[in-house]
Amino acid sequence: DGTSNKIRLLEQSPALEGQFSHFVESTDWQAVTQSHQEKTEQDVLRALSKDKLDVDDFAALISPAAEPYLLEMVAKSERLTLQRFGNTLSLFAPLYLSNTCANECTYCGFSMSNAIKRLTLNETQVGKEVAAIKSKGFDHILLVTGETNKVSMPYFERMIPLIKPHFSQLSMEVQPLDASEYKQLQGIGLDGVLVYQETYRRKTYLEHHLRGNKSNFNYRLDAPDRIGQAGIHKIGLGVLLGLEDWRTDSVMMAHHLRHLQKRYWRSRFSVAFPRIRPCEGGIVPKSIISDRQLVQLIAAWRLFDRDLEMSLSTRESPEFRHHAVRMGFTTMSAESKTQPGGYADDSQEALEQFEISDERPVAEIMAMIREQGREVVWKDWDPALSHV
């Protein structure tokens, strides 16, 4: 049938000229690793003195050679963020619609072979979740699902029109789709799509994505190109820090961002920094990024791109989030539930994707943000108002 044909096509996804998969196929991973390993103090000082940074400067800023300059980087990152975004931060809530999944990802509690209770919310349950999220004040929602036929286009086409009228911004983090499908969803209210590549190294990617459509490396890698071609307002990138050398993956993501910015200049871009968290069948990270290194990475991203939206999730501890608020972030999740139905009924922890680390209620998060001299805005920052 149509679905199996699509799956067969997906399995063959070649690296396409002009798409990012082509860049990745023709780029030697070891050479990229060497490019940040060989950076010197001079490279770091040059990057720090520039206004417009290239990927090579970014590699210098995340290299060990930049570690003595951490305070300077953080101060500059804070200054640039304030100049560009003002002293505001917007909050969003992830809405987990389904934890069914036909994929096997080594780091995820929703993996097909995990014997957990599965739930896909119906219209009534979605209505209850929306009411619970709205009652906390959120105006920006991120829809999250596992990846199965059950939660594909027909389901999204039913749910988005129910949810969108209640929020000014609606983004999705679901299975990668075709450009025409993104376009279709944009017509019914989709504003942004996040597709995290997890790792840019094919070999490691295949070791962690064992079964299902997600094991099609190129189809996922080219999803941001398809989102851009569909003219979606916001495109989100991310790697799962810890699967591979975090520096090499970050340099590859910086290349990915520049590739997309050149082609889809009407879209806005966001990046996120998830670190591997404990989950069902948890794995040991291959490369551990310390808190200090994560701070360096965040500051380097802000210096690399002052227009970039940067998102901090509840995966991080309250202490880390407390200190990170001022650094360069523009959005943050709060009081997240990672199990479907969790906002209206949080007694179902067995359904959750991963344990969150910062479980504080929204009011406490807002107080913490204000303590850091920032204001919470419930709507997305609007560049058109930046001069007001």
Find the part of the chain contacting ligand SF4 (CB under 6 A) among 106-114, 223-231, 270-278, 293-301.
Answer: 106-114
Is 110 among the residues that bind ligand SF4 (CB under 6 A)?
yes
Based on CB atoms, which residue is closest to ligand SF4, 209 or 374?
A: 209
Q: List the structure tokens of 295.
A: 């701070």
Is 174 among the residues that bind ligand SF4 (CB under 6 A)?
no
Based on CB atoms, which residue is closest to ligand SF4, 146 or 242?
A: 146
Is 111 among the residues that bind ligand SF4 (CB under 6 A)?
yes
List 66, 93, 105, 241, residue binding ligand SF4 (CB under 6 A): 105
Based on CB atoms, which residue is closest to ligand SF4, 343 or 354?
A: 354
Give the footprint of ligand SF4 on residues 212-271 (CB under 6 A).
214
According to the 3-state scheme, what is the secondary structure of the chain?
A: CHHHHHHHHHHHCCCCCCCHHHHHHCCCHHHHHHHHHCCCHHHHHHHHHCCCCCHHHHHHHCCHHHHHHHHHHHHHHHHHHHHHHCCEEEEEEEEEEECCCCCEECCCCCCCCCCCCCCECCHHHHHHHHHHHHHCCCCEEEEEECCCHHHCHHHHHHHHHHHHHHCCEEEEECCCCCHHHHHHHHHCCCCEEECCCECCCHHHHHHHEEECHHHCHHHHHCHHHHHHHCCCCEEEEEECECCCCHHHHHHHHHHHHHHHHHHCCCCEEEEECCECCCCCCCCCCCCCCCHHHHHHHHHHHHHHCCCCEEEECCCCCHHHHHHHCCCCCCEEECCCCCCCCCCCCCCCHHHCCCCCCCCCCHHHHHHHHHHCCCEEECCCCCHHHCCC
From the number of C-beta atoms within 10 Å of its C-beta (0-12, 13-18, 19+), residue 117 rates as: exposed
List 147, 249, 305, 358, residue binding ligand SF4 (CB under 6 A): 147
Based on CB atoms, which residue is closest to ligand SF4, 111 or 169?
A: 111
Based on CB atoms, which residue is closest to ligand SF4, 146 or 192?
A: 146
- Work out how close the CB of 108 gets to ligand SF4 at its nearest, in angstroms, rounded to a whole number: 3
Give the footprint of ligand SF4 on residues 177-216 (CB under 6 A).
214
Is 351 among the residues that bind ligand SF4 (CB under 6 A)?
no
- Work out how close the CB of 116 gets to ligand SF4 at its nearest, in angstroms, rounded to a whole number: 11
Is 108 among the residues that bind ligand SF4 (CB under 6 A)?
yes
Number of residues that bind ligand SF4 (CB under 6 A): 9
- Work out how close the CB of 204 gets to ligand SF4 at its nearest, in angstroms, rounded to a whole number: 15
Closest residue by Cα to residue 266 from 228, 225, 299, 293: 228
Based on CB atoms, which residue is closest to ligand SF4, 19 or 103?
A: 103
Q: Are 235 and 270 in contact (CB under 8 A)?
A: yes
Is 151 among the residues that bind ligand SF4 (CB under 6 A)?
no
List 19, 63, 103, 171, residue binding ligand SF4 (CB under 6 A): 103
Find the part of the chain contacting ligand SF4 (CB under 6 A) among 10-18, 103-111, 243-251, 263-271.
Answer: 103-111
Based on CB atoms, which residue is closest to ligand SF4, 214 or 247?
A: 214
- Work out how close the CB of 214 gets to ligand SF4 at its nearest, in angstroms, rounded to a whole number: 5
Is 313 among the residues that bind ligand SF4 (CB under 6 A)?
no
Is 146 among the residues that bind ligand SF4 (CB under 6 A)?
yes
- Work out how close the CB of 275 gets to ligand SF4 at its nearest, in angstroms, rounded to a whole number: 15
Q: Are 361 and 318 in contact (CB under 8 A)?
A: no
Give the footprint of ligand SF4 on residues 82-101 (CB under 6 A).
101
Name the site residues for ligand SF4 (rule: CB under 6 A).
101, 103, 105, 108, 110-111, 146-147, 214
